[in-house]
Chains A and B, each alone.
Chain A
Amino acid sequence: MEILSMDAMVVPMLMCNQWKIHSKFTHAINLTNGKDLISITTNNRYLSPGGIRVNVENFDFLDMKFFDDVCVNHQKLILNNAEFLNISPQIYSSYLKPNTCELNWIDVVSHKNALRDWLIHQSKHSASVDWIKNSVSTDLVDAWVHQKLITFEECVNQNHISICSILGAGHGLTPTGDDVLCGYLAIYHYLNQDSMIKSVKQQLLEISPHATTDISKNMIFYAVNGYFSDVYRDLIKALFHGGELEDAAENCVSVGHTSGIDFMCGVLKALENISNKKGEDYGKTNTHL
């Protein structure tokens, strides 16, 4: 098996740390050094932060002993009996560059409305979609998460982001609340809302070790530092600079069961929060933040 590509940040991480096998799924094998995660993904998955993409379609054929050491050298990665040759992988960056251009807010709001419409009409169900649609789920966990999201949104509207109200809330390996938070972080990072980002970073230092899963913590850690999967970055670009928003949204749906949807709901709500502050300006001129 051959390594096709890897995130630029992974190269030094691999060289400097002792890695062990953390978990394995059909399309991903996660490695851990006790603090960070690196994700080896199949060639049919999106490019994730801290990711290594290899040329297989699934990992079902591999048996892994969890917490076994991973052998790393310049030529290959060895996980139990599986070898991934490191010949000349393509290096990518998962960093979302913050916006430096003047934004056409009339277009941004129109794209935001299109995203809302798309989210309301897509077929996947999640607590975050209930939140957007203002509908109530009969699912116990979803109804609970919905309430948490409302509380979170009310705080954000008062310029106070409180991650403990949604962290780890919901189904899935990356619970709904965490994916929504990453959506918010993407917007805040892109629009240079440094105070919000700083606040989240501070709160992350204080969270309980059981607040959320390792995989989710890792995702939030990357997000708060501006690293996002390529499908998420494409969505942000489409929202702010035009492009195939529907295609970008459809690609996001492929992330997890509802993770992509939850992320988009977070993006939408964060954007609504920010654009409401700019509200009256839309009709007059192309303003920028």
Chain B
Amino acid sequence: MEKRTLIYKNRYVDSVSLMSLGSKVKKEEGIIEAVVAMATDMNKEILALVGLATDESTDASANDLLIAVVAEELSQLEAAFELIESSLASSGGKTKGKDSSKVYRQIEQVIEDDIKPTVAIISIPGKYAARETKKALKYGMDVLIFSDNMTIEEEVEVKTLAAHQHQLVMGPDCGTAVIGGVGLCFANEVTRGDIGIVAASGTGAQEVMVQIDRLGGGITDVIGTGGRDLHISVGGLMMLEGLRRLEEDEQTKVIVCVSKPPANEVKNKILQRVKQINKPVVICFLGNKEVVTDEGNIHYASSLFEAAKIAVELSTNQSIEVKHEDQDLTLYEEVKGKYAVGLYCGGTLCYEALDQLGKNFEVKSNLGHGEQEYQKNDESVHILLDLGDDEYTNGRPHPMIEPTLRNDKILEYAQRNEVGVVLLDFELGYGSHNDPVGETILTIMEAKKLAANNQRTLAFVGYVCGTNKDKQGYERSVNALKSAGVLVAKSNLEACQLVSSLVGGSTHE
């Protein structure tokens, strides 16, 4: 074991940098302990207690920075201090040594350095997002606006400007895109191929790209538009621009269009444009109540899974037979007639579940309207909650980033006698938590135990939206859920069908 304590005299580093430095060093290979703190008497006391105090640290003043590291080997200790030195240099606003990356504070500075970026991601308070979007558009970039709270007037303004110049403004509140094979924000690692997606829904796009990958197809680009794009006042400006991009892209052979049902006027405009495209287009307007039939190059899908399946069939020119894995539900006879609760991290997946389960059951949801609108005291009814909705995330990270925020809700519903099934989704990929299943599994087991102590059976149905190429690993996540006694579905649609079977509705449709 190797240890070293260094004092940086009169070294002020802001707290954020100081704390991140400590965490960063601890994650390095072979590091047993790292203390990064100001050399106050109290902090020196703890250093002495764990045997890391030196003469220098004992003499240090409270305004000196104290760094102590314990590593398994000398080389690891050296590497840790190299990392510390370079981080301290960069936190002082100085140019990094070996690292060629550079932090720019303004879009103009990037342009001055003669760098020609093609995409800008805007993630700043919403009231400034339009201003920065206009700047990025001016310099020829497409823009993904992760920020929300942009006014609809501003959205119309920037999108009109972009459409006029054949540029993309994805967002505001756009969480998913894949451009040129690069996943932006929340996206999955999928095979490259010939299917392009334009979507006004984040997890909707993720579900389609994941299912395409699993069914043997591949993706060119995924263009997000932001949820309000098909609003009547925005008029689908970016859906139309996205379609144009994919139409012109030679690699794209099939296009998939995903959104909630748009206003009629916008829908007609989109369909009119789609008809002019010389490529097959799969349309999935989730929750559409109208009866539709395929027409010319337009293929309609009633679920995200079906959209992916049709797209892959069109791409490969082969029909796909979907095999459902037989799940043993005999253990769960007792839950028939009870209620299901879906606690979703993915908003569009929740919306799809509302659409699917709403066909057979009385369902309430915070995404529902009219009779389906959820009220806080609702019980004795099937409930589907989008926990990524503003009311649950205000001031907190999105549950796709921090899934533990859902755990309290799981335990809350698990204790309700009328609840027989809990439905959960897990999103893998860029941007998502490193182990969403791992963060939830103990809670699932605790919830089952609570129910069992109460002489109740509680079924868990899980769906993992991801691929094996995602950093979290699809198979690994699925196996972990199965080992905790969760019934794992292969798609969100199948998860809804499983829930139906469990609580007593129709089975596979």
Contact = CB atoms under 8 A, between A and B. Distances in A.
B40 A175 contact: yes
Contact of B42 (A23, A177, A214, A250): A177
A66 B13 CA distance: 14
Q: Is the interface of A mostly helix, strand, loop or mixed?
A: loop
A257 B20 CA distance: 9
Contact of A257 (B16, B40, B394, B396): B16
B22 interface: yes
A251 to B, nearest CB: 10
Interface in B37-83: 37-44, 46, 49-50, 60-63
Given A23-B12, A173-B15, A213-B62, A122 B40 contact: no
B362 interface: no
A179 to B, nearest CB: 10
Nearest to B49: A144
Contact of B14 (A25, A140, A210, A212): A25
Nearest to B50: A140
B40 A210 contact: yes
Contact of B38 (A166, A173, A256): A173
B12 A212 contact: no
A25 B14 CA distance: 6
Contacts of A242: none
A211 B396 contact: no
B37 A170 contact: yes
A122 B43 contact: no
A144 B46 contact: yes
Contacts of B60: 210
Given A168-B62, A214-B62, A26 B37 contact: no
B105 A169 contact: no
A167 interface: yes
Interface in A243-289: 246, 249-250, 253, 256-259
A100 B49 CA distance: 47
Q: Which 9 A-B pairs have the closest CB atoms?
A: A168-B40, A257-B15, A172-B15, A169-B42, A23-B12, A168-B42, A250-B395, A25-B14, A257-B19
Interface of B: 10, 12-16, 18-19, 22, 33, 35-44, 46, 49-50, 60-63, 93, 105, 394-397, 402, 405, 408
Given A24-B12, A140-B50, A171-B15, 5 more contacts: A25-B14, A140-B46, A167-B42, A211-B40, A215-B12
6 contacts: A167-B42, A170-B43, A210-B40, A210-B62, A212-B38, A214-B63
